[in-house]
């Protein structure tokens, strides 16, 4: 029997799981870390926190292997996408990581979009989320760091280098940079020019699911292994989540509700949306593509609400209060844009709002309004997918919020989709396992390895409740349209100093 360690470096934590060759999760360890939001749209993180988490998980996995008397066949990695870490020749960080939520590069994006039209090449309109605009911002604002940098890495490449000593990335992660040509699956000279990114400062590109090298001696020792292990670059976390959910055929739909929330569908060839709303990236499946629509508001927002408003870590109590509130949350609307607004219209100045609060409003109304606001963002993403030609009747939902039956039912009612949640909630880790299992020859390919995970629960939409949500969502759109977010942000920024 074979065993492998699957790693998922997310936004708020890193997970590691040991899986056997049949796809059974035997052991898991999670290490949390936090980004540092600040004024001016800054969101940074100490890169050493990623290395500390990786090494803690590796040591814990080694202890598990010794306890159970098993040997690992290899390691697979998926990670968050589009953060930026400038490093020297040894992989040492030159400054804190600029995280994917950082908004400082927003003023640069419109000019690049107008002059270069990146969507036609890379399947994405430039926004501050992606790596390319961050590199351009660094070039213009921190030229010493830009010139000194040997490579520009993301979290994925940073961890791969720590494990193997190699500067490499895979097509699925590289496609989130706004600099990859979807058709050649290589760095686009035109887009490298657009973002001022020297090609020698970027990583070598390999297919998703490729073995990038072997574990360095010190990392092999951390894992408690006697020999170096192959390391697989499984891909970006959202692409791997879709794979782990068994979404491997065209037009099958996955909804992943982590720190951000993503709706994804597979495609055999690049699909460009005439309205440029839906993103097209490289899939975790070699040679395939993934269509994606996303919102920045998801689990992190509900986490904030439970801790800051309910002042309790008890999610079940918050859910119970929300369940006691009727559909429509007693007329309370929430715009859950604490970190800005994602699709369909990028708005980095948007912020969270509660509207229509009265003396009759309960904490449960507020909780339900947050859940309905989060579901509304995903509903808008599903509508974008439908407009782009993807119109499934069902979806698979995973991530932290999928553990709330109330939230998944709200999502089913709002979208009109039949939704199932998988028995294994760690969709991204399962995708890493499927990718690695295929790389190690345990299965013919990733599709065979992924299969279709068994369902934990199934949710059917209620038409009457959906009609209530349709009216509430229209009111929510009117509320957002009525806000001059940039002017408000400027005034409030001066108030806050």
Per-residue pLDDT reduced to its tens digit, 13-32: 999 999 999 999 999 999 99
Distance of CA 42 to the CA centre of its chain: 19
* Rounded average pLDDT over 350-360: 94
Please tell me which residue, 359 or 316, carries the higher pLDDT value: 359
* Rounded average pLDDT over 353-382: 95
Per-residue pLDDT reduced to its tens digit, 180-212: 999 999 999 999 999 999 999 999 999 999 999
Using alpha carbons, select from 410, 400, 412 the residue that is nearest to residue 323.
410
Model confidence at 494: pLDDT above 80 = no
Listed in order, strand segments (DSSP E) in 216-363 are: 230-236, 253-257, 261-267, 279-282, 289-295, 333-335, 353-355
Using alpha carbons, select from 394, 396, 382, 375 the residue that is nearest to residue 469.
375
Arithmetic mean of pLDDT over the chain: 93
Going by C-beta distance under 8 Å and a sequence separation of 6 or more, which residues neighbour residue 345? none
What local confidence, expressed as pLDDT, does residue 453 receive? Answer: 79
pLDDT above 70 covers a percentage of the chain that reads 99
Domains 3-228 and 245-496 share a fold: yes
For β-strands 180-181 and 186-187, DSSP reports them as antiparallel
* Rounded average pLDDT over 66-81: 96
What local confidence, expressed as pLDDT, does residue 300 receive? Answer: 84
Per-residue pLDDT reduced to its tens digit, 417-436: 999 998 876 889 999 999 99
Q: Which CATH architecture has domain 3-228?
A: 2-Layer Sandwich (3.30)
What local confidence, expressed as pLDDT, does residue 425 receive? Answer: 67
Per-residue pLDDT reduced to its tens digit, 141-152: 999 999 999 999
What local confidence, expressed as pLDDT, does residue 76 receive? Answer: 98
- Tell me the C-alpha distance between 483 and 488, whole Å: 8
Is residue 59 within 8 A of residue 216, CB to CB? The reply is: no
* Rounded average pLDDT over 265-274: 90
* Rounded average pLDDT over 334-348: 82
* Rounded average pLDDT over 382-399: 88
* Rounded average pLDDT over 86-103: 96
* Rounded average pLDDT over 91-115: 95
Model confidence at 497: pLDDT above 60 = no
What local confidence, expressed as pLDDT, does residue 240 receive? Answer: 94
What local confidence, expressed as pLDDT, does residue 5 receive? Answer: 98
Range of lowest pLDDT (44-48, 160-164, 310-314, 353-357): 310-314
Listed by start position, the domains of the chain span 3-228, 245-496
**pLDDT tier at 53 (50, 70, 90 boundaries)?**
very high
* Helix H or strand E segment including 177: none
Strand order in the sheet with 289-295: 279-282, 289-295, 261-267, 253-257, 394-399, 418-422, 455-459
What local confidence, expressed as pLDDT, does residue 234 receive? Answer: 98
* Rounded average pLDDT over 1-23: 93
Using alpha carbons, select from 423, 429, 432, 436 the residue that is nearest to residue 397.
423
Angle of helix 463-482 relative to helix 405-415, nearest 10 degrees, comes to: 80
CATH class of 245-496: alpha beta
């Amino acid at each position: 029997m074979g065993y492998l360690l699957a790693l998922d470096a997310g936004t708020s934590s890193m997970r590691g799981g040991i899986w056997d060759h049949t796809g059974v999760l035997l052991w898991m360890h999670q290490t949390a870390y936090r980004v540092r939001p600040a004024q001016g749209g800054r969101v940074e993180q100490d890169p050493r926190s990623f290395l500390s988490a990786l090494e803690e998980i590796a040591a814990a996995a080694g202890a598990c292997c010794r306890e159970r008397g098993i040997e690992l066949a290899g390691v697979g990695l998926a990670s968050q996408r589009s953060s930026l870490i400038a490093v020297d020749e040894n992989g040492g960080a030159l400054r804190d990581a600029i995280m994917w939520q950082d908004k400082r590069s927003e003023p640069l994006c419109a000019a690049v979009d107008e002059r270069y039209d990146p969507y036609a090449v890379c399947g994405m309109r430039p926004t501050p989320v992606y790596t390319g605009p961050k590199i351009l911002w660094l070039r213009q604002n921190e030229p010493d760091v830009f010139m000194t940098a040997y490579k520009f890495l993301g979290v994925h490449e940073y961890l791969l280098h720590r494990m193997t000593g190699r500067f490499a990335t895979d097509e699925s992660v590289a496609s989130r940079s706004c600099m990859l040509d979807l058709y050649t699956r290589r760095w686009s000279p035109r887009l490298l020019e657009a973002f001022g990114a020297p090609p020698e400062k970027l990583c070598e590109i390999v297919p998703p699911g490729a073995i990038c090298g072997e574990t360095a001696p010190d990392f092999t020792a951390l894992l408690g292994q006697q020999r170096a292990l192959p390391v697989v670059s499984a891909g970006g976390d959202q692409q791997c989540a879709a794979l782990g959910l068994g979404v491997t055929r065209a037009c099958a739909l996955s909804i992943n509700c982590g720190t951000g929330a993503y709706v994804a569908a597979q495609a055999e060839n690049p699909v460009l949306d005439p309205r440029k709303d839906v993103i097209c990236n490289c899939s975790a499946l070699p040679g395939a593509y993934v269509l994606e629509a996303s919102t920045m508001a998801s689990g992190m927002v509900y986490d904030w609400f439970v801790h800051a408003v309910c002042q309790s870590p008890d999610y079940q109590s918050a859910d119970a209060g929300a369940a006691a509130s009727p559909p429509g949350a007693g007329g309370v609307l929430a715009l859950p844009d604490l970190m800005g607004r994602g699709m369909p219209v990028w708005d980095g100045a948007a912020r969270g709002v509660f509207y229509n609060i009265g003396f009759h409003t309960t904490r449960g109304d507020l909780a339900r309004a947050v859940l309905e606001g989060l579901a509304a963002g995903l509903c808008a993403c599903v509508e974008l997918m439908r407009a782009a030609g993807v119109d499934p009747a069902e979806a698979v939902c995973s991530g932290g919020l999928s553990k709330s039956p109330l939230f998944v039912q709200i999502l089913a009612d709002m979208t009109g989709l039949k939704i199932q949640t998988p028995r294994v909630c760690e969709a991204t880790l399962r995708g890493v396992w499927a990718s690695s299992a295929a790389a190690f020859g345990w299965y013919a390919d990733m599709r065979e390895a992924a299969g279709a995970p068994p369902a934990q629960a199934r949710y059917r939409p209620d038409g009457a409740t959906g009609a209530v949500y349709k009216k509430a969502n229209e009111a929510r759109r009117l509320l957002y349209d009525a806000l001059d977010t940039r002017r408000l942000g400027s005034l409030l920024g001066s108030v806050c100093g």
